Amino acid sequence: MQYLVSVIDDRTDSGTADEMAAVDVFNDRLQAQGHWVFAGGLAAPSSATVIDNRGGGEPVFTDGPFVETKEYLAGFWVMEAADLDVALKLAAEGSRACNRRVEVRPFL
Amino acid sequence: MTRPGVQEAITRVHRAEWARVVAGLTRKFGDLDVAEEAAAEAFATAVQRWPADGVPPNPGAWLTTTATRKAIDRIRRESKRADKQREAWMASADDPGEPGGAIDDERLRLIFTCCHPALAMETRVALTLRMVGGLTVPEIARAFLVQEAAMGQRITRAKAKIKAARIPYRVPAAGDLPGRVSGVLAVLFLVFNEGYLATGPGTDPVRPDLTAEAVRLARLIRALLPDDGEVAGLLALMLLTEARRAARVSAGGELVTLAEQDRGAWDAALIVEGHRLVRERLAAGVAPGRYQILAAINAVHTSARDARDTDWSQIVALYDQLVRLDPSPIVALNRAVAVAELDGPEVALAAVDRLEQRLAGYHAYQAARADLLRRLGRSREARAAYDRAIELAGNTAETAYLTRRRDQLAVAAEPWKTV
């Protein structure tokens, strides 16, 4: 079972050196214990582009994120976990490591 | 021809077996929704057949067999459903769980799943009453003054989340158990309190159906986790509170304070049972948790034959212990009310006033303050506090009591008006 752990952010500065170091330690542990699938940090929402090609023909490009919010997705983990209890424990450690709130959501 | 006693038997069997049937089927089929529906169908079949056929010698086994057949029928009908997910969930249900016999009961898994911390509190309450308590969706909707459709949706969404996010069906590991048990107890306490001091202008002030259900579930958890002190504490607290139910509301529908209650109307059997649990916890010699202390406070109250015999120093000492564990303003308020009996209303009022910032919008704060001001003869201020308390109180019996108190105050304060 895989879970998406989204990092919720409302700050414009990227992670501090301490936070980055804590995340590295946490990532090593995820890998050592077989929970690691993938993870990444994202650039600021203002760097996003929304593409709409639903009608076919010429795709429409729009500058900026698809929804403007005070809080946004700053990064994520994809984790392998046996069930939600395991995922919640890992996410709690992740939240502590990156010093931000996180959201856990199961993959279908 | 309906055989005598069959209706009663069905009701009794429903109470005794519902959670066991749902829990067993959930384990077998790995799907709460399938289990719930099949259990409901099996009971509906019993209602149809038992009056003619008679109650089977082993009703629980009959229901499980019938429900299992219903579940298999449904799964066959919906064979396209995502089997992979179900298999995975069933694998988690096959974990051996905590060794130690008593704790490994199917119903305990069901309770922990329904009270999972990833579910919203109101969802946990609804799910527990449905899956463990066996209440119907309309019954639960009525209990919490929610539209039936909305309550149905809440439960459906919860079942979908349990399945999609794979909330496990097992008893938590020993290390997580205390936290998870306290989550379960919070659900039961909430159900009990809603019954004990029902909110809403259209509801009865006391809802014995809800308090009785909470007591029943607490007894079940007590039977499943006999060594847990807080479980015993909560059950004792409920019993000692429930024991006073008949005396708590007057014939005129007014709340009767502890001091004014007819103690002869208290339920002696429940008090004996509650006291026994409190003594058992005292003898255990383990530092008590919140519910055990609250139970002990209620044990002191119910030990006094007359309100004047109440051992207030003991009660204040217990509140001191509770404050150390739970420094919330509500505990501090209750302690202050006890202090009034020991050190007088002036000392208590000073303590109450210190809580104003945090509790000004809480009816019990205003009511306690009004009472202390009244006792100090500060009628004008008392009246203002009663007005605030009446505005904030959601319970009809409490509103009636506060209104009478306020109006008596007006008469006493302005005697020329009594003519």
For residue B417, is pLDDT > 60? no
How much is the pLDDT for B412? 59
How much is the pLDDT for B89? 52
How much is the pLDDT for B96? 43
Mean pLDDT, rounded, of chain B: 88
How much is the pLDDT for B253? 86
How much is the pLDDT for A41? 92
Question: Does A92 touch chain B if contact means CB atoms closer than 8 Å?
Answer: no
B172 and A84 within 8 Å at the Cβ level: the answer is no
A84 and B88 within 8 Å at the Cβ level: the answer is no
Of B44, B26, B132, nearest in space to B89 by CA: B26
Residues in chain A with pLDDT values less than 70:
12-14
- The model's confidence at residue B144, banded by pLDDT at 50, 70 and 90, is confident
Question: Between B118, B166, B176, which is nearest A1 by CB?
Answer: B166
pLDDT tens digit string along B18-62?
Answer: 999 999 999 999 999 999 999 999 999 999 999 999 999 999 999
Give the mean model confidence (pLDDT) for residues B360-378: 94
Within chain A, strands assigned E span: 2-9, 36-41, 49-52, 60-63, 72-80, 101-106
Q: CB A66: neighbour CB atoms within 10 A?
A: 11
pLDDT tens digit string along B258-288?
Answer: 999 999 999 999 999 999 999 999 999 899 9
Q: CB A40: neighbour CB atoms within 10 A?
A: 9
Question: Does B52 touch chain A if contact means CB atoms closer than 8 Å?
Answer: no
Helix axes B363-375, B396-413, angle to 10 degrees: 30
For residue B382, is pLDDT > 80? yes
Distance between A106 CA and the closest CA of chain B, angstroms: 5
pLDDT tens digit string along B245-264?
Answer: 999 989 888 989 999 999 99
Tell me the C-alpha to C-alpha distance, in Å, between residue A45 and each of A15, A73, A74, A78, A92.
15, 8, 8, 20, 24
A85 and B164 within 8 Å at the Cβ level: the answer is no
A84 and B116 within 8 Å at the Cβ level: the answer is yes
Question: Between A1, A88, A108, which is nearest B118 by CB?
Answer: A88
- Quote the tokens at residue A108: 């279908």
> Between residues B103 and B133, which one has the greater pLDDT?
B133
Identify the weakest region by mean pLDDT among B172-176, B357-361, B365-369: B172-176
- Which single residue is written with the structure tokens 């005598």? B4
- The model's confidence at residue B82, banded by pLDDT at 50, 70 and 90, is low
How much is the pLDDT for A50? 96
Which CATH number describes the domain made up of A2-71+84-102? Answer: 3.30.70.1060
Distance between B180 CA and the closest CA of chain A, angstroms: 11
Distance between A107 CA and the closest CA of chain B, angstroms: 8
A85 and B176 within 8 Å at the Cβ level: the answer is yes
The model's pTM is: 0.83
How much is the pLDDT for A35? 97
- Quote the tokens at residue A84: 């939600």
Scanning every residue of chain B, which has its alpha carbon at the shortest distance from the alpha carbon of A4?
B165
B166 and A108 within 8 Å at the Cβ level: the answer is no
How much is the pLDDT for B100? 38
Interface test with B, best of A80, A83, A105, A108 (most B CBs within 10 A): A83
Give the mean model confidence (pLDDT) for residues B354-359: 94
- The model's confidence at residue B99, banded by pLDDT at 50, 70 and 90, is very low
Residue A63 — φ and ψ, nearest 5°? -75, 130
A84 and B168 within 8 Å at the Cβ level: the answer is yes
A83 and B168 within 8 Å at the Cβ level: the answer is yes
- The model's confidence at residue B101, banded by pLDDT at 50, 70 and 90, is very low
B167 and A84 within 8 Å at the Cβ level: the answer is yes
B118 and A83 within 8 Å at the Cβ level: the answer is no
Identify the weakest region by mean pLDDT among B138-147, B217-226, B337-346: B138-147
For residue B402, is pLDDT > 90? yes
| A 25-84 residues inside an 8 A Cβ radius of B | 82-84
How much is the pLDDT for B409? 84
Give the mean model confidence (pLDDT) for residues B160-169: 94
How much is the pLDDT for B103? 43
- Taking the C-alpha atoms of residue B247 and residue B267, their distance in angstroms, rounded to an integer, is 9
DSSP B211-261: HHHHHHHHHHHHHHSTT-HHHHHHHHHHHHHHTTHHHHB-TTS-B--GGGS
- The model's confidence at residue B381, banded by pLDDT at 50, 70 and 90, is very high
pLDDT > 90: percent of chain B:
69
pLDDT tens digit string along B188-219?
Answer: 998 998 888 777 666 677 788 889 989 999 99
